Structure 1
Amino acid sequence: MALITFSGFPSSGKTRRAQQLKAHLESRLQDSNYSGPKLKVSIISDDELNISREVYKDGRAEKPARAALFTAMQRQLGQDTILILDAMNYIKGFRYQMYCAAREMKVRVCTVFVVATPDLCKEWNAAREDERAYAPEVLDSLIFRYEEPSSMVRWDSPLFTVPWTDEDVPADDIWKAVTEGIVKPPNAGTQAVPKAPTDALRTLEHTSTTMVAALMAEQSASGGLGGPLTLTVSPTVKAHLTLPARNITLSELQRLKRQFVTVHKKAITLGTIEKGAVDWSEESVAEKFATYIEGNLKA
């Protein structure tokens, strides 16, 4: 349904704002005037995943912590969930990664930027009594490295800024964004690449070899007159093509076959950007190779 990404300095009050927003959203979903789909509101955070503040001391430890957060987000994201991601999310590349995952799932997105001054964050961090405070040097480092969200980039939009002076979050605007906002479709960068079947390489090689042999046999029988020709590839597959009125050599056909196989082998091994299902059946390969021969044989 929707992904709401929180972002802000460490100890800036993100968790309090996330809880405020969760309460507002659940209240609206339970309201008698609400007639939309049945939804649940969930929060994912470092605390929920038992990620220690210590990981932010070392980039090598922080990377798997972000991966755990991303995996948990992917697992819970769905059409029946408004998911609140309560974390610093201070790296714009990581926010973009989550945005792409949300687009692939076809859910709405928005970002909540919780703002507090560095001095206030340090003060609130020092006053914490839940054993989840950041070490002073880690706090300074994270504030220095923080990459602020911007409404000018698509992965942070729509962006809602909540300064420390506000008593509450802009619940009305966020509710409208997650229930009425535009659902951006997946693009080429977010879609999974369709893969060829395991026997595609064998079918490609066998079918093209069979067609070369059949074409040479038919040409020998007709004396190289050219014109429309039907090749029998297998008991159930036939290929139709038109040949020029001249004798075609085996070396020409072998060269075209190598070129054809090389191009399509790359599509099989690396995937393809074609939309929908890709057909690597014997019939489809025979049709493609016949078209390729027609287009590349010179009269």
Structure 2
Amino acid sequence: MALITVSGFPSSGKSKRAHQIKVHLESRLQDPSYSGPKLKVAIVSDDDLNIDRSVYGDGRLEKSARAALFTAMQRRMGQDTILIVDAMNYIKGFRYQMYCAAREIKVRVCTVYILATPDLCKEWNTSREDGMQYPSDILGNLLHRYEEPSSMVRWDSPLFTISWMDEDVPADNIWKAITEGTVKPPNAGTQAIPKAPTDALRTLENTATSMVAAIMAEQAASQPPGGPVTLSLSDTLKSHITLPPRNVALSELQRLKRQFVTVHKKAITLGTIEKGQVDWSEESVAEKFATYVEGNLKP
């Protein structure tokens, strides 16, 4: 139903704000005046996944940690869930990746930026008593690398900024964004492309070969040549084609067959399709080849 991405410096109070948002949303969902769909509010965070703070000092381990967070986010996200991702989410490319995942399943999105000064984050990190402190060198590195969200880019919008001085979160605005905001459709980069069946190449080659043989047999049996004919490719498969008023040489048909197979083989091997249609059945291939031959045979 919605994805709320929380972003901010390490030890800036993100978990506190995520909990505040969760409490407000659950209160509204349980209010007697609420008449919308039945929803649940969930939080996914580094702590839920037992990700140690030290991984942010190793690029390889940090990449694995982000992958684990992204997988957990995808697993929890759904039409019946308001999901809050409580993590630094400090890389704009990662926020974009989550935004695309949300668009793919058509849920609303918003970003909550927890604003605190670097000095305050260092002070709060030092005073933490939950065993979740960042090593000082890692903390400094993360503060330097942080990529601030911007309301000017679509994957961070709508953006709500919460200062360390604010006592509470803008619950009304967040609620409106996730219940009334625009649901953006998946873009081309997030849609799965239908694939051709594994036997498509064999069907393409065999059907075109059968068509050539049937055309030659029809020409030998029919005089004068040309006109609309019905080709019998098997006991159950027939194809209709209009031939020119002349005998077509086998070499000409073989050339057209090679061209036809080459063009359609590229579509199969690259995983692309024509206008979103996936139909590589013998009937469809025979019909396409008949149309191709009619369009390329000169009278």
Normalising by the smaller structure, the TM-score range is: over 0.9
1:245, distance to aligned residue in structure 2 (A) = 2.8
Deviations 1:90-134 (A, max 9, x none): 111111111111111111111111111111111111111111111
Match in the other structure for 2:208: 208
Deviation of 1:270 after TM superposition, in Å, equals: 2.9
State how far apart, in whole Å, the 2-side matches of 1:85 and 1:38 are: 20
Contact 1:3 1:77 in 2 (8 A): yes
After the TM superposition, which of the residue ranges 122-131 and 64-73 deviates more from structure 2?
122-131
CA contact (8 A) 1:215 1:231 kept: yes
Query: 2:48 is paired with a residue of what secondary structure?
Result: coil
Corresponding position of 2:170: 170
Match of 2:24 in 1: 24
Q: Are residue 97 (structure 1) and residue 97 (structure 2) matched?
A: yes
- Supply the distance in 2 between the matched residues of 1:224 and 1:47 (Cα, whole angstroms): 82
Give the superposition deviation at 1:89.
0.9
Alignment RMSD: 1.6
Aligned to 2:12, what secondary structure does the other structure show?
coil
Amino acid at match of 1:231: L
Counterparts of 1:298 and 1:165, CA distance in 2? 80
Counterparts of 1:171-190 in structure 2, within 5 Å, are 171-190=171-190
Write the distance in 1 (CA, Å) between the matches of 2:166 and 2:30: 25
Could you list the per-position Cα deviations for residues 254-291 of structure 1 after superposition, in whole angstroms to 9, with x for gaps in the alignment? Answer: 22222222222232233225565511111111111111
- Structure 2 segments unaligned to the other structure (5+ residues): none
> Matched residue of 1:18: which SS?
helix
Give me the identity figure in percent: 79
What amino acid is the match of 2:132? R
- Give 1:160's aligned residue: 160
Matches of residues 1-299 of structure 1 in structure 2 within 5 Å?
1-222=1-222, 225-274=225-274, 278-299=278-299
Conservation of the 8 A alpha-carbon contact between 1:188 and 1:273: no
TM-score (norm 1): 0.95
Query: Distance between the aligned counterparts of 2:97 and 2:275, measured in 1?
Result: 22
Q: Conserved in 2, the CA contact under 8 Å of 1:239 and 1:287?
A: yes
Aligned length: 299
Greater Cα shift, 270-279 or 42-51: 270-279
Deviations 1:125-164 (A, max 9, x none): 1111111111111111111111111111111111111111
Deviations 1:34-76 (A, max 9, x none): 0111110000000010011111101111111111001101111
Question: For the residues of structure 1 that align with 2:224 and 2:141, how far apart are their CA atoms?
Answer: 78
User: What is the identity, as a one-letter code, of the residue corresponding to 1:141?
Assistant: N
Find the residue that maps to 2:110 and give its secondary structure.
strand
CA displacement at 1:236 relative to structure 2: 1.9
Gaps of 5+ in 1: none
Q: Aligned partners of 1:289, 1:179: CA distance in 2, in Å?
A: 51
| Aligned partner of residue 234 in structure 1, secondary structure | coil
